[in-house]
Amino acid sequence: MKNWIIPSIISTFCALNLYAQDNQWVARNNGLGNRTVYCIEMQANNPDVLVAGTAQGLFRTTNGGQQWNQMHNATARAVWISPNGQTIMFAFSQGSRSDGIWISRNGGQNFDVYQWMMWPYSLAVDPANNNRVFVGTRDQGFYYTLDGQNWNQANNGLPGGMISHLSLKNFNNQTHLFAATTRGVYHCIVGNNIQWNSIGPRNLRIGQTALGFDGDRDIFAGTNDESDSDGLYFSEDFGQNWDISRWCWWVQAVETAPGIVIFASREIGVLRSTDNGENWTLMNQQLPNFDVVDLAIHRGNNAVLVYCAHNGSGVYSYRIPVEGQPPSRFDLEEPDNGAEISIGPVIFRWGESEDPNGAVTYTLWLKKDNDSLSRATDDNLIEVNIARLGWDWARGDEVQWWVTAAQGGDITECNERFIFYAQTQPPQDFRLLEPVNGDTVENAEVLFRWEPSQDPDGEVSYIWLLDQPNGPPLVEVLDTTALIADLSGFFPGETTVWNALACSQGDTIWCEEQFRFHIKLREMPPEAFDLLHPANDTTINIADTTSDLITMNWQRSYDPNPEDTVSYCLYVYEIIGQIEVGHQFTLDDTIFSFRYHDYFPVRPGSFTLTHWYVVAISDEDTTYCNERFRFIAENPE
């Protein structure tokens, strides 16, 4: 809020002190002349900038009316300017094919047609979304766009004739639109299917409507039926009921600012009220006549600045000095004083504070022991997840809370500070997942997992615990639901238990059931070993078939698992072409003898290259000998 209040105050100071005089109207027509001005609009955050629509074109001033410059030569019946002054829209209406809504996105340097339509007379733009544009016409009813591209017509419930003024109000997450017609005020809620409803005053020609004075649901509506029923009417319930605020003929313009409402009547001139329309004060000093057709109003810290669009006499300004007042006192509403509050999202609500100098902003304050913090908001409620404040909570902790209201440099605190007490909740039950109860694991790295536990008070952390039969338990503090633990120090055959503890905000809960599991040695392959005999590349004479016994032996391989035994597989083969042709022998010992003639063909005068190697086997693990050997089977005969 401070980012825009400061420049607004500076600009307002300049405009209210240099460009207007107290309690009298002053002509501001340099560059504008005494033209008939149909409409006038003030930039929301800079009252020095105004745009005026005339029959001879669109004019703009950046110094409170000291100098006007023409931006466009079209007849402008209604105009709108964005808070930053860059987007300007106006309704060009003179009964020609050029009629429609024109737009500039560069502060009025260039204008393009936004949408063609006949006789547009009134214009409203959603301040929260400038693509939502609403247009009332002289005899074609109502047009609107919600995306700035697609236009629709919506006249269901509207009477025929002119829509002279449109007012928009965003309230309770809905966009409410009010149309001043020849048969009273009509209301609709903007949506996919717009339906208008008459809300009164009944059967009276309406000049203009104004919203937002002294409450979200207040409406002022001026009538101009040239009858004794004319006057300024007031509703404080969105048009369900109406009362007369001031009888007079030909009410042509109504505008409001915090703490003040001003209207113009061709019968009695310009009047203001600072008590919600109970009493009225004339403000016609130096006004050439009472034919005022539009008003623009801005309230600063020290004065109210009013501009009027005059029929035949240009633009006039009027300064009303006001005394700065602090925001009004207000009460806290919820949570109740002394309430017990669950740690989590909490809605804080308080009564509205009012300040005639402008909109009020609020700051929520929370204090626990020596810790305090604040949250700013424009509304009279705010939701805060107190579990995410970074505070340590325990059941029964006392927290003080209060709210301050600010406008300008004035600050008002609520009537009474409240306290509440923390009501923490334990984490929810959860289960262990693995290793499952009764499982057998290796004495190696083992994955432990469990379900996450939920806690409405805040984030949950965990303590993992594993009993050691011959030592203190293993303990780890974690933010996750998984852990890999090294169990190499456990002995085979041991049985132990494990569990997990969920912790949050000082509350803890063990899982439903601790798990028990058994330890065994992790599976390891047999050790490496060497072949011994016959030595590699040995030549063996196999000519004598009665004495060609070949004995082969190798080193013993050992298995690290003492309960496992090692067996061997001996492979002896020849390579014929690309194919291995040979025999396999399964053995429990490290020596084996066989007659060559019993397994391989022997040819006179041959020298056969025979290969052999051994594989050690333990359970499903295998280990090959370090190097494969070969020998030459010689038959010289």
pLDDT of residue 521: 60
pLDDT of residue 209: 74
- Which pLDDT band, with edges at 50, 70 and 90, does 327 fall under? confident
pLDDT of residue 12: 36
Q: What is the dihedral of CA 153, 157, 160, 164, to 10 degrees?
A: -70
Q: Which H or E run contains 92?
A: strand 88-92
CA distance 558 to 525: 9
pLDDT of residue 3: 29
Specify whether the CB–CB gap between 634 and 540 falls below 8 A.
Answer: yes
pLDDT in tens, 10-42: 333 343 444 567 899 999 999 998 889 999 999
Tell me which residue of 374, 345, 380 sits closest to 360, measured CA to CA.
Answer: 380
CA 491 to chain centre: 55
Query: Over the chain, what is the mean pLDDT?
Result: 86
Residues 6+ apart with CB under 8 A from 545: 595, 597, 602
Count Cα atoms within 13 angstroms, Cβ side, for 574.
12
pLDDT of residue 7: 32
The one-letter amino acid code at 98 reads S
pLDDT of residue 20: 61
pLDDT in tens, 131-146: 999 999 998 999 999 9
pTM of this structure? 0.55
362: pLDDT strictly greater than 80: yes
pLDDT of residue 18: 47
Per-residue DSSP letters for 13-32? HHHHHHS--BTS-EE--TTT
CA distance 198 to 179: 9
pLDDT in tens, 40-61: 999 988 899 999 999 899 999 9
pLDDT in tens, 499-518: 888 887 667 777 767 677 67
pLDDT of residue 1: 23
What is the arithmetic mean of pLDDT over 96-119? Answer: 93
